[in-house]
Structure 1
Amino acid sequence: MSVDGWNTVLVLGGIRSGKSEFAESLVGDAPVVRYVATSPEGDPQDTEWAARLAAHRARRPGSWTTEETASDPRRLADVLAAAEPNETLLVDDLGGWVAVLLDPAHQPSDDTGTIAELAEAIRHCTARVVLVSPEVGLSLVPTTPVGRAFTDALGATNRAVADACDGVVLVIAGQPTWLKGATVRPAGAAAGAETPRVAGANGAAVAPMPDLVDLSDVANPTPPPPMPPTENGTAWSTPTMALPMVSTGLVIQPGMELPMPDEYAGPQAIERLATLDVPGAGLGVLTQLVGFAAATQGTPTPAAWTSVRVLLINGDHAGGASAGNRPGESARRAGQARAGRGALARLAAEAGAGLQVVDAPSAAAMEDEPALTGEQVESALRYGWQLAEQAAEAGVQLLVLAASGAGTEAAAAAVLAATAGAEPAAVLGRVVTDTGEIDDAAWMRRCAAVRDAMHRSRLSSRAAKDVLAELGGGDLAIATGVLLGATARRIPVMLDGPVGLAAGLVSRDLAGQARHWCLLADHGGDPAVKLAADVLGLTPLLDLRLGLGEGANALVALPMLRSVLALAAALPTHPSLTAGDEADEDVEEAEPEFAEPEPAGPGPTSTEPDEERVDPSGRAG
């Protein structure tokens, strides 16, 4: 069950750090898990220890089996050595194993030799193994000989096992930090060093996290470490507080409660526009841009986006969907973008935006079989979410979705047909060759591919993930994850092209809030974009109809949109709306303030105490 050398992982952590729960999440995708328990039952009178063991047992699914090795610490190495390649083992934990190893009942023994024996068994184990162990290196040196012997033995065990394992992760307060393996770049490695890659549907490699092409003065952040792959090519999950959690893994599912834009800031910003000192009627259709920016920024005076990132998703579709596309053309375009060349890269440079090229798993011919497996869809969704989180951590204020794969138009048409009831032929645009000619034969092959795919999957569920698996493909799944992750991190996304709009339809069925964070710069004359925009309630700001590829319209419009936002934020209020207030202030200054006259003598308004008076009769007053 090893992929690219990954089959053994050591999970370290302190007491109650969440290390066991994280280890369990790593093997949660395995149909059957053999749980190897190393700790003895303990004192029957110790109810607290019994409760801990019971809690561990309660978390294990019914499909797991349990094997005890507490009777003989040497037996753990035998269990690992005898494990088959198709097995998954979870060993919890090595602290209990060391306690048994040091028990006087097992002495005298060669403890060092037993630890080395265990490490050697791990190193040659063909099964998928996750081991849990307490990290004792951060605690105080025990004051008793027994305590010092335990920490010394456990420290030696952790070092030997960590050296033998392919990956090591430290869990602190429930948050995992990878210390060894494909999730981190080794110290001293070159920036362009080769990193492990996740396999796509056809075996093509997909970079776990693409680098950002530096095209402007926008800061070029270091990509976060990628996630280690599992045996089925998907990525092991890392936790985030923005997602529902199962153990500590990401779960993207229908009905997620994600944030909405500010419902008051948008209308307030539009009302404010009516008070500005402009010579004409105002901003026209771009008024909605100011309202959108205000709602997503949570202020009636939104600022222009200064940090913008373009995500160019490159993923091909096999079969009739790619009819009319030259083989290898999309890869060439993606390579141009990575090198800072080509139309999209130059437009991004002119607009002062960063460009990140994202390789998606290639989709199978949808007319013959599902475009992706369910596991690949889950991995692509999480991958897209992670791209959005990476952008948020880098301070990106606006994401632009673009695509360059072959067959994306047909895949988007199939998704529209499945989610919005569209007629595929009505939403498939004309096929234009590299020489500018219309290829009607290729268009008909695309229509036939979508028709056959719809017929093949007619009995399949039309749930969001099933649509992505049957018809969508890797590029659409990653784009959907980007939209959901951006929504969770309150980042607006500018859509431009069929892939982004089709992803918007799918993301709507997973979290209805996602569409409210989407902005459509231009429909580009694409029938699929027009229909999807109508379903999502998105009104295009412009009508440029450029033919420079998906994302080009958005980048051409970006400088103008920035100018409008900057203008709306900087213009003062019209003088006619402030003149009346200034006149009222002048009147108030001209009128003398009322002052109560001082009394002529002592009276009710006097605040001074009266001196003792003597009346004519001689009596005190």
Structure 2
Amino acid sequence: MSDDRWSTALVLGGIRSGKSAFAEALVADATSVRYVATAVGGEDDPEWLDRIEAHQRRRPQTWSTEETGADPTRLAALLTEAKPDDTLLVDDLGGWVTGLLDPARQPNDDQADVAALAAAVRACTARVVLVSPEVGLSLVPTTPVGRAFTDALGTTNEALAEVCDRVAFVVAGRPVWLKGADYPEAPAPDPAPVPVMEDLPEPHLVVPEVTEAPVAPAPAAVAAALEEPTQVLPVIGGGVAIEPGMDLPLPHSDTGPDARDRLVSLDFAGAGLGSLVEAVEFAAATQRTTIPQPWASVRVLLISGSHAGGAAAGDDPADAERRVADVERGEGVLSRLAGEAGADIAVLRVAPAGPIEDGPVLDEPAVEVALRQGWRLAEAAADAGRDLLVLASIGVGTDAVAAAVSAAVTGSEPVAVLPRVLRPGGTFDDESWMRRCAAVRDALHRIRHEARGAKDILRHLGGADLAVATGALLGAASRRLPVLLDGPVGIAAGLVARDLASQVRHWCLLPDTGSLTLVRQGSDVLGLTPVLDLRLGLGEGANALAALPLLRSAVGLAAAAQVHPSLLAGQDVPDDLLAPVDVPDDEIPGEPIDGAVETLAEDGSTTLTVPNDPEVDLSEPDPHGPGPATTEPTPDPDTPEPDRPRPSTPGE
């Protein structure tokens, strides 16, 4: 038995309960682990193979893998051969029972095999964690094969629970200890691995002075959408496992198009909302209602990071620090716009990153830390009742780094997307721009043979600020929190986040095209349609806040406007959808019309004939100017018609 008083543990749980991730956390402190895979078959099932691959990607490279699917009895042999300093993780016993019941092994004494496995676990001197599905809560299968499987697996679970030191039951990623509760909790890694960079600071929350009346609280429909449970995500040591292929929620697929279709019928005097329809459709899809409400509670996440080397050419670190300090004091353009929008600002300063042209700017643990911190910041915004997140950035070298990340992800030409260096006073510094181009070129040349996964890009090029922004987008999607993007860092983070979870882009809205090619091309790759073409250049985050009042107005108009009454004639429509119309008392519809004659036809139908009003002249007016399509002069009735040649007919 180990120093923490347990040597063997059985982890039970349903499908997608997080049992495997919890079991992996129990052995995370081991220097090496022998992972025993029991899966049988599935070679012709792509989805099953994807599941296996996802498990494989999650394992550290120091782990070794042994497969027992072909011979279930080998599992007991492995346990018997294990040494006291070994650590084994068996995942899972459902696969082991499937192999046990293979028709090719029948007839066979399956109960004897279960007893042998239990004896091997009891006698094993190594640390062993076994994962098994819990089938006791499901319905009794309707087929003999299904009943045989559940019976055998239930017997196996009961036998192993008897001999194991500890037994845990995992539900929705939360473990409950069923046995061994008097022992200390099993070791589990921190949600965030110890970073190599400096200790991550907590964000500084700023509430700018509101220069206009505060917006109303979030409507009940929006609040309910934010509070509903998210997908069940893999959990490691109490934290979400941020890995490629994450399954995050999607906005509602029908309410957005339905809201767009509804706008055509609203009682607008003109053609409607124009390009602002994109904002209404986005709000409807993310709020999951055909009649969305304007965003009422906004948080701005301002990430301040700096990059060394050629990427920072032309940037003034002191000026960037001044702007961040202004925001922290509630001053400056960003703070003023946030105050007008009734938004608060969470300011986060991250550790500086090295030159992208020299080598990786982060190590793997630091990437994990930054991703999870961004995730937690998005969750904090949702927990605080915010219904919209605005991603903002102020830093040194961020434009060049965002261009390098975008080029690495999309394959675009860095020179074509790298923004020019703008000096105070409106002058361009082309020499600094060329130094940035060289840095981006060298960085991309350095990683030409490296892996291009999302985390690899953040490690080699992105830095902590881009990693935090990426994690914030992932966390926002997990909590169904919509995000406004409008600058290089946000777009680059969106491109990286898309490779971790494709659902992220559907929770992002681009308010304005801006003036940067990097933003326009990146948004095109992401599939984001800009709502406006204002070409704002107020700074990342400030652009979105400047456009936010117009977006709110569009969503509010779409919610308040009623359907045009002419489109509702003869339809049973609720009164609240009708536009109010004042009708004089003497013109109430339904009163009899003088002179009207009702005729009954043979088929039973009736025809109502209404005489013309004698005071109304229904004759065609004489045109004054362009009129009839003919060019012939109007004949005078007093003038005899001249003889005209008569067309000949056959036979004449």
Task: Find the counterpart in structure 2 of residue 255 from structure 1.
Answer: 245
1:308 aligns with 2:298: yes
The structure 2 residue matched to 1:59, chosen from 114, 124, 129, is: 129
CA contact (8 A) 2:421 2:433 kept: yes
1:490 aligns with 2:480: yes
Task: Find the counterpart in structure 1 of residue 468 from structure 2.
Answer: 478
Q: Give the partner amino acid of 1:363.
A: A
1:546 aligns with 2:616: no
Task: Find the counterpart in structure 2 of residue 449 from structure 1.
Answer: 439
User: Helix, strand or coil: the match of 1:401?
Assistant: strand
Alignment of 1:98-109 (within 5 A): none
Alignment of 1:303-342 (within 5 A): 303-342=293-332
Q: Give the partner amino acid of 1:524.
A: G
Task: Find the counterpart in structure 2 of residue 366 from structure 1.
Answer: 356
User: Helix, strand or coil: the match of 2:422?
Assistant: coil
The structure 2 residue matched to 1:285, chosen from 275, 278, 283, is: 275
- How far apart, in 2, do the equivalents of 1:378 and 1:395 lie? 26
1:207 aligns with 2:277: no
Note closer, same or farther for the CA distance 1:19–1:483 as it changes in structure 2 (3 Å cut).
closer
Task: Find the counterpart in structure 1 of residue 95 from structure 2.
Answer: none
CA-to-aligned-CA distance 1:46-97 (integer Å, 9 cap, x gap): 9989858969823399xxxxxxxxxxxxxxxxxxxxxxxxxxxxxxxxxx9x
- How far apart, in 2, do the equivalents of 1:52 and 1:563 lie? 68
Note closer, same or farther for the CA distance 1:544–1:273 as it changes in structure 2 (3 Å cut).
same
Note closer, same or farther for the CA distance 1:425–1:177 as it changes in structure 2 (3 Å cut).
closer
Q: Give the partner amino acid of 2:505.
A: R
Task: Find the counterpart in structure 2 of residue 28 from structure 1.
Answer: 28
User: Helix, strand or coil: the match of 1:473?
Assistant: helix
Task: Find the counterpart in structure 2 of residue 124 from structure 1.
Answer: none
- How far apart, in 1, do the equivalents of 2:231 and 2:396 lie? 36
Task: Find the counterpart in structure 2 of residue 295 from structure 1.
Answer: 285
- 1:547 CA drift (Å): 2.8
CA contact (8 A) 1:314 1:360 kept: yes
Number of aligned positions between the proteins = 441
- 1:19 CA drift (Å): 13
- 1:580 CA drift (Å): 3.5
- Higher alpha-carbon deviation: 289-298 or 45-54: 45-54
1:388 aligns with 2:388: no
- How far apart, in 2, do the equivalents of 1:199 and 1:47 lie? 41
Note closer, same or farther for the CA distance 1:28–1:198 as it changes in structure 2 (3 Å cut).
closer
- How far apart, in 1, do the equivalents of 2:254 and 2:125 lie? 47
Note closer, same or farther for the CA distance 1:249–1:356 as it changes in structure 2 (3 Å cut).
closer
CA-to-aligned-CA distance 1:89-148 (integer Å, 9 cap, x gap): xxxxxxx9xxxxxxxxxxxxxxxxxxxxxxxxxxxxxxxxxxxxx999xx9xxxxxxxxx
Length-normalised TM-score, structure 1: 0.62
Q: Which of 1 and 2 has greater Rg? A: 2
Q: Percent identity?
A: 52
User: Helix, strand or coil: the match of 2:547?
Assistant: helix
Q: Give the partner amino acid of 1:28.
A: A
Note closer, same or farther for the CA distance 1:318–1:524 as it changes in structure 2 (3 Å cut).
same
- How far apart, in 2, do the equivalents of 1:469 and 1:428 lie? 20
Note closer, same or farther for the CA distance 1:343–1:26 as it changes in structure 2 (3 Å cut).
farther
- How far apart, in 1, do the equivalents of 2:353 and 2:431 lie? 22
- How far apart, in 2, do the equivalents of 1:53 and 1:479 lie? 50
CA contact (8 A) 1:198 1:207 kept: no
Q: Give the partner amino acid of 1:388.
A: A
Q: Give the partner amino acid of 2:407.
A: A
1:556 aligns with 2:626: no
Q: Give the partner amino acid of 2:324.
A: A
CA RMSD in angstroms, aligned pairs only: 4.5
The structure 2 residue matched to 1:351, chosen from 341, 354, 375, is: 341
CA-to-aligned-CA distance 1:223-271 (integer Å, 9 cap, x gap): xxxxxxxxxxxxxxxxx97422345442111111111111110111011
CA contact (8 A) 1:315 1:360 kept: yes
- 1:208 CA drift (Å): 4.0
CA contact (8 A) 1:381 1:481 kept: yes
Note closer, same or farther for the CA distance 1:52–1:540 as it changes in structure 2 (3 Å cut).
farther
- How far apart, in 1, do the equivalents of 2:296 and 2:571 lie? 36
Give unpaired runs (5+ residues) of structure 2: 13-17, 34-82, 87-114, 132-164, 166-176, 218-229, 576-587, 593-652
CA contact (8 A) 2:292 2:559 kept: yes
- How far apart, in 1, do the equivalents of 2:491 and 2:362 lie? 20
CA-to-aligned-CA distance 1:540-574 (integer Å, 9 cap, x gap): 11222333211111001111111111111011110
Note closer, same or farther for the CA distance 1:248–1:55 as it changes in structure 2 (3 Å cut).
farther
- 1:177 CA drift (Å): 12
Task: Find the counterpart in structure 1 of residue 426 from structure 2.
Answer: 436
Note closer, same or farther for the CA distance 1:476–1:20 as it changes in structure 2 (3 Å cut).
closer
1:402 aligns with 2:392: yes
Length-normalised TM-score, structure 2: 0.59
- How far apart, in 1, do the equivalents of 2:308 and 2:460 lie? 13
- How far apart, in 2, do the equivalents of 1:510 and 1:553 lie? 27
- 1:463 CA drift (Å): 1.1
Task: Find the counterpart in structure 1 of residue 233 from structure 2.
Answer: 243
- Higher alpha-carbon deviation: 386-395 or 20-29: 20-29
Q: Give the partner amino acid of 1:429.
A: P
CA contact (8 A) 2:294 2:556 kept: yes
Note closer, same or farther for the CA distance 1:55–1:10 as it changes in structure 2 (3 Å cut).
closer
- How far apart, in 1, do the equivalents of 2:254 and 2:407 lie? 35
User: Helix, strand or coil: the match of 1:255?
Assistant: coil
Task: Find the counterpart in structure 2 of residue 237 from structure 1.
Answer: none
User: Helix, strand or coil: the match of 1:399?
Assistant: strand
The structure 1 residue matched to 2:261, chosen from 271, 277, 289, is: 271
CA contact (8 A) 1:198 1:208 kept: no
- 1:516 CA drift (Å): 1.1
Alignment of 1:167-178 (within 5 A): none
CA contact (8 A) 1:411 1:472 kept: yes
Give unpaired runs (5+ residues) of structure 1: 1-8, 38-44, 62-95, 97-133, 140-150, 159-169, 184-196, 221-239, 591-621
- How far apart, in 2, do the equivalents of 1:482 and 1:358 lie? 12
Note closer, same or farther for the CA distance 1:30–1:382 as it changes in structure 2 (3 Å cut).
farther
Q: Give the partner amino acid of 2:513.
A: H
- How far apart, in 2, do the equivalents of 1:421 and 1:177 lie? 36
User: Helix, strand or coil: the match of 2:427?
Assistant: coil
Q: Give the partner amino acid of 1:206.
A: L
